[in-house]
Chain A
Amino acid sequence: MSAANKPLDIKKSAVDAILAGLISLIVFGPIVGVVLDGYSFNLQPARVGWLVAIVMLGRFCLSLFLQTPKGLKILQGFESTSSGVHVLAPDYKSRLRWIIPVLIVIAIVFPFFANKYLLTVVILGLIYVLLGLGLNIVVGLAGLLDLGYVAFYAIGAYGLALGYQYLGLGFWTVLPLAAIAAALAGCILGFPVLRMHGDYLAIVTLGFGEIIRLVLNNWLSFTGGPNGMPVPSPTFFGLEFGRRAKDGGVPFHEFFGLEYNANIKFLFIYIVLFLVVLLVLYIKHRLTRMPVGRAWEALREDEIACRAMGLNHVLVKLSAFTLGASTAGLAGVFFASYQGFVNPSSFTFFESALILAIVVLGGMGSTVGVVIAAFVLTVAPELLRSFSEYRVLLFGVLMVLMMIWRPRGLIRISRVGVTPRKGALAYERKAP
């Protein structure tokens, strides 16, 4: 292309930068520069100056970059849509088969070295891995935008708290029940909505998430309102993890003749959670290779074509939505027993947005990406506490940039191809 030889037009870039500066002055000037203080205000012009300078510099560099051959290529990339799934050669062996056993070994060895703080951080990370995996089925594989995902998480968490309070249920009974309850809620909500145009689902789930949170917040006599509810500790075949068991029972450490350790409850949650995550990973891995998994992805790419091929789009979408919801229900139970109490402020829209950010960043449909993103987004804030003010802002920026740069996520979804069997080919040749 001749564009490669064209000299850089610095004048154009400068004009771009000045225009961007003017606009950013209008945009940032009032909100950043004039800080309200009661009915009067304080002026902070320096902050505006910095922001405008950064915008101008950024626009100038971007403008210059887009004139280079590399930039032009990126610009052309916006014009075309990339294909959804990358198909690998049939005999391709993923490097993951080495990484996964290593990771499992690390996960087994880890608790022996971890202190309580590290353990809780990793448990939180694993809970978000579970949530990310669940939402990944809904958003990544089936292409349904669920903005009230946190509602199902809340159903799981409050299921444990309410079940204990009113029915005397424990961790192990609620674990499957919560998954079923969340799946049912997803079914009831999803069935009518999934028949309609896809975008409506986003807003209905958003509304549903808020309804659940508001009801939990306002129904003082049943859920305890903003004060929340206590959650029982999990038990191991009826053995409690406390220093002393209630009602004259034998605590776990005495039964096995171990020394009392306050970490043991978290250790237990960690182990069970890790097993559940592995199970969900395995189920998801198998599902994406089953007809229903293929149907999810096909429906995501082209709904009209799928319906023309005779797929029942409502049932296929509903299966993804329900499965995602039940995973969130499981995560909710773990979250509640990890925290020891639940209150509605853990289930705000921001939580949904965070899980969505995990899925978006990890790559729609990519399992490995979601696991990595879940750990990065939950562990990073622990390390960067001084930046916590800017955390949500950064999530927002990341979401927008990711959508512009790589709407399908950092890690490309790839799948090993299949060679047709020899017999089948021979049959085709013989046929007239």
Chain B
Amino acid sequence: MDGIFLQQLVNGLTLGSVYGLIAIGYTMVYGIIGMINFAHGEVYMISAYLAAISLALLAYFGIESFPLLILGTLLFTVFVTGVYGWVIERVAYKPLRNSTRLAPLISAIGISLILQNYVQISQGARQQGVPTLLEGAMKFDIGTGFVQITYTKLFILLAAFVGMGLLTYIIKYTKLGRMCRATQQDRKMASILGINTDRVISYVFIIGAVMAALAGVLITMNYGTFDFYAGFIIGIKAFTAAVLGGIGSLPGAMLGGIILGISESLFSGLVNSDYKDVFSFSLLVLILIFRPQGLLGRPHVAKV
């Protein structure tokens, strides 16, 4: 097989697993309160900054071993981003629970603008970067060319799948997961049965933010650079992944992420890299037109 093709497949798989992580935030929030959280991409952007800040702080204190660095960064980023998720829900969405249908969407746009500019003002508009943490790569000779898998990419795949596995476990087997699923099925009934649905909604926002934080750390490790505008494009793409897999479905978000990542990588490697964003957005429009329920989702039924 062609070397470029395989190489793009590998790149796409890593990129897609990260899209999947961010898509989880969209899909869970949509499943539970039926709202598109436009600020989610910005939460990812915040986590990228937090990852870089944490790396800089740890380096300042003289920590240089990779496991300690990555563990410290993950803990710090996940914790602070989780708090961001909670605060955003508390400030911008909770007061709007009984408002018009459009209100939370517009409020989310507002939050998205606030976060972007707050980061731009406090950190400056220039591109930021992090040093390479994991050096080295595995190389395979496949006759027609080389396929290179960097250790960073391997780590990303591993971390993304561990994160997804952990989340699946939480949702399937723990009390918190049962509460989430119950609230998703029927919010009113769940609250009658003694579930504090407001708290469950907060948890869902925190879970989404935590997954976005994991994605932020991983993408920052891989690409090394980011800026305050990074959340916008990745946010739409992750949303595309969520819709592709079927919005509201967890395995769908992961599957959609991987399919989107691979097809985007193949398109940019084999066709044209200038139009890779156009390709993803067109894919979104096409999916919504021809299969709005996605690959694993159920068709939307309006209830009175």
Contacts and interface: CB of A to CB of B under 8 A. Distances in A.
A binds B: yes
Given A196-B300, A349-B232, A39 B59 contact: yes
A392 B97 CA distance: 26
B87 interface: yes
Of B96, B106, B239, B302, most buried by chain A (CB within 10 Å of CB) is: B106
B135 interface: no
B53 A31 contact: yes
B52 interface: yes
Q: Tell me if A's interface is mostly helix, strand, loop or mixed.
A: helix
A73 interface: no
Contact of B300 (A197, A208, A350, A399): A197
B123 interface: yes
Given A39-B56, A193-B289, A403 B129 contact: no
Interface residues of B, number: 75
Contact of B239 (A35, A41, A203): A203
Contact of B100 (A27, A38, A398, A407): A407
A34 B57 contact: yes
Interface string A186-208: 00010011001111101110111
Interface in A201-227: 202-204, 206-208, 210-211, 214-215, 218
Contact of B117 (A80, A303, A396, A398): A396
Contacts of B53: 30-31, 34, 36, 41
B110 interface: yes
Nearest to A30: B53
Nearest to A308: B304
B80 interface: yes
A397 interface: yes
A425 interface: no
A291 B300 CA distance: 29
B111 A396 contact: yes
A399 B128 CA distance: 29
B104 interface: yes
Interface in A366-397: 389-390, 392-393, 395-397
Given A196-B300, A200-B288, A399 B107 contact: yes
Nearest to B130: A39
Interface string A22-41: 01001100111011101111
A81 B107 contact: no
A200 B111 contact: no
B239 A81 contact: no
A108 interface: no
A210 B239 CA distance: 14
Of B38, B101, B102, most buried by chain A (CB within 10 Å of CB) is: B102
A147 B80 contact: no
A36 B59 CA distance: 13
Nearest to B54: A30
Given A210-B281, A399-B113, A27 B239 contact: no
B86 to A, nearest CB: 8
A145 B49 CA distance: 30
A143 interface: yes
Contacts of A360: 106
A26 B83 contact: yes
A416 B38 CA distance: 37
A103 interface: no
A353 B111 CA distance: 12
A317 interface: no
A199 B121 contact: no
A27 B80 contact: yes
Of A189, A211, A356, most buried by chain B (CB within 10 Å of CB) is: A211
Given A403-B99, A407-B100, A31 B121 contact: no
Contacts of B83: 23, 26-27
Contacts of B274: 218
29 contacts: A26-B83, A31-B50, A31-B53, A34-B53, A36-B49, A36-B123, A39-B130, A192-B288, A203-B36, A203-B288, A207-B240, A207-B282, A211-B282, A304-B304, A349-B232, A364-B102, A392-B117, A393-B118, A395-B110, A396-B111, A396-B112, A396-B117, A398-B110, A399-B109, A400-B91, A403-B92, A403-B99, A403-B103, A404-B107
Interface of B: 34-36, 38, 46, 49-50, 52-57, 59-60, 76, 79-80, 83-84, 87, 91-92, 95-107, 109-119, 121-124, 128-131, 232-233, 236, 239-240, 243, 274-275, 277-278, 281-282, 284-285, 288-289, 292, 300, 302, 304
Given A41-B57, A215-B275, 16 more contacts: A30-B80, A31-B119, A40-B60, A196-B292, A197-B302, A203-B284, A206-B236, A211-B285, A356-B109, A392-B116, A393-B114, A398-B110, A399-B106, A403-B103, A403-B106, A407-B102
